[in-house]
Structure 1
Amino acid sequence: MSSTSTPLYRFLAPRYWPVWLALGAVRLLVALPYGAQRIAGRIIGRTALVFARQRRAIAARNLELAFPELDAAARRELLRRHFESLGMSIIETGMCWWASDARISRLVEVSGLEHAEAALAAGHGAIMLTGHFTTLDLGGRFLTRVAPVSAMYRPHRNPLFEEIMRRGRERSARQAFVKTDVRAMIRALRTNHLVWYAPDQAHKRGKYSAVVPFFGVPAPTNTATSAFARLGQAPVIPFFPVRLPGRGGYRLEILPPLKDFPGSDPDADALRINHLLEERIRLCPEQYLWVHRRFKPAGAAGEDHYGPLGRKRKRRASA
């Protein structure tokens, strides 16, 4: 156990009981055969489509912005398939944490492993670049089955869920560190690690941020990939996990390193990454994470595509 682990008995207070119940349900779903998991995932997703109104509205708006060429009926169908994919992603996250290595190996076919092996042989590690797909966590677990990996992650607000999530990721990764720990990122690259990295969610304005088109819509975008690659002297290798139809399992595609990366302009590098992500998203659009406000306003003068959707409600002052 990591020295930073918190004993689970500290999370026995009643306020954690709903989280324990949810985790127990997911743990049971992990034990099901894969075909039954696909059915359960669809049921979970269709239930969320009905009740998660705010997330449904955000996803619908994202699909409207990203795919204006689709008519309303086609976007509704894509929205339904997206929520089914989200439902399956809950089970896949549990598989990432609790499934055996043997079961993971049976479910995935890997292509392009030679690109990661070449980076390790060169001794500079690599930034394993991907996007926020619904197969996000399981894709990282797949990668650790074929190469040593460190992972960046966003801390969860619930302490119990954060502890379970961290333990699950550290089960397969050499180390897991929060996405704001830049020094840990560079240190991992310089010690010949592969570092899992997904820079595509909406990014707050700052040193490593620019307004770059994503699906033709100006969006605040993370430009730190260029700096990480330069400081770590590491190649950027895109990889994408894809959930196959039916009971086909998954395909992990590792692409060749980006050529001439980083360039002289971080904004141009970020646009290049966005174009790559767009190409991959179009291959399986239902598997991208559309419930996130990807097209948030770029500063006070930016266009607000969502109106009140997704804005945090102000807490009422206590009496």
Structure 2
Amino acid sequence: MSRAAKHFDRRFHLSLLHPKYWLSWLGIGLLVIFGLMPAVVRDPIARMMAHLVMHIAKRPIAVARANLKTCFPEKSEAEIASLIRENVENFVMILLAQAELMLKGRKYLRRRVKLMGYEHVQQARDAGKPVIFIMPHVWGIEYAGLRLNLELPMVTMAKAHRNGLFNWFNNRMRSSLGARVYMREAGIRALLSELKNDFSFFYLPDEDHGRDKSIFAPFLGTVKATLPVVGRLAQAGNAAVMPVKIGYNRHSRQFDLTVMPAIAPEAMQGKENEARALNHAVEQVILAYPEQYMWFLRVLRTRPEGEADIYD
């Protein structure tokens, strides 16, 4: 990995054959086997495995329950429990399928992910603009990124996995269509440079970056600390900002990927306005497929002064 470029090295290194990775290789081998299976066979297996996950993932499920109770105070305990079960099922189904993104070709990806709303992207491209796609942490985000990478040049930014083999595997998958994967340490300057080179990318605005630089804005049934940086980045890089939603359809066994109309630049003038606009975009994406959002993340960790920690 180059220290100057701060992007992930896709090359295979012999160090990845070290015995400490042998169990990880076994896991990757299982993912490859599942990735080669047709969805009609794999999905029922995944749903059965989800029952096991429900029993062993106590801490993540507790976080998910706290998020759901805070974001949807009107929902009953039974409704929240049902939503958690669906969420875990979708997690396992999509996890077991993801190796197909590296194993199968472009034609398969076009069939597997139904793309809608691309006319909004084309309008921006015709105007000479790259696109900053707004998508929170949803289970199908890898499918969204690679499907859009079939249509336009993309880069992305990711946090390094502590396991070196999984780090290599995940980022080989993310860059399999030519995208460059930057480390988070590369920062906003790297993304701005890529925008100026006509590359588009995903920005995940639902992460909690702490109190110092964030703005509290309405979010579902509560408020959320949001980092208002996209507006300035889009202005500096002459980019359009578009929310994207994706959901796995169990009946068609396809992903439905929709690019939504661009957020008006004036809606993001000022930090408070931008935080509200970003949270509203995240709400739209989540509410389209609430059972497929990563509710186990501590996205509401930072609370307003005097408000208790919801995860305590």
TM over 0.5: yes
Determine the structure 2 residue equivalent to 1:40. 45
Aligned equivalents of 1:282, 1:185: Cα separation in 2: 28
> Counterparts of 1:44-59 in structure 2 under 5 Å?
44-59=49-64
On the 8 A contact 1:297/1:305 being kept in 2, the answer is: no
Once the two structures are superposed, what CA deviation does each residue of 1:35-66 show, in whole Å capped at 9, x if it has no partner?
A: 12222322332221111111111111111111
Pick the aligned partner of 2:154 from 149, 152, 155: 149
Pick the aligned partner of 1:63 from 63, 68, 76: 68
Determine the structure 2 residue equivalent to 1:196. 202
Pick the aligned partner of 1:230 from 235, 241, 254: 235
1:294 aligns with 2:260: no
Number of aligned residues: 306
Stretches of structure 2 that go unaligned for 5 or more consecutive residues are 2-6
On the 8 A contact 1:120/1:192 being kept in 2, the answer is: no
TM-score, reference length from structure 2: 0.90
Relative to 1, partners in 2 of residues 1:299 and 1:179: Cα closer, same or farther, differing over 3 Å?
Answer: farther
Determine the structure 2 residue equivalent to 1:317. none
Aligned equivalents of 2:67, 2:8: Cα separation in 1: 41
1:172 aligns with 2:177: yes
Relative to 1, partners in 2 of residues 1:244 and 1:5: Cα closer, same or farther, differing over 3 Å?
Answer: closer
> Counterparts of 1:117-132 in structure 2 under 5 Å?
117-132=122-137
Aligned equivalents of 2:49, 2:122: Cα separation in 1: 38
On the 8 A contact 2:132/2:234 being kept in 1, the answer is: yes
1:186 aligns with 2:189: no
On the 8 A contact 2:242/2:259 being kept in 1, the answer is: yes
The amino acid of 1:73's aligned partner reads A
Pick the aligned partner of 2:102 from 76, 97, 106: 97
The amino acid of 1:188's aligned partner reads E
Aligned equivalents of 2:209, 2:184: Cα separation in 1: 12
Stretches of structure 1 that go unaligned for 5 or more consecutive residues are 308-319
On the 8 A contact 2:228/2:275 being kept in 1, the answer is: yes
SS in 1 for 2:265: coil
Once the two structures are superposed, what CA deviation does each residue of 1:277-300 show, in whole Å capped at 9, x if it has no partner?
A: 213322221001101011103488
Q: How far 1:262 moved relative to its partner?
A: 5.7
Relative to 1, partners in 2 of residues 1:53 and 1:101: Cα closer, same or farther, differing over 3 Å?
Answer: same
Determine the structure 2 residue equivalent to 1:281. 286
Aligned equivalents of 2:248, 2:266: Cα separation in 1: 29
TM-score, reference length from structure 1: 0.89
RMSD between superposed Cα atoms in Å: 2.1
What percentage of residue pairs aligned between the two structures are identical?
Answer: 25
SS in 1 for 2:88: helix
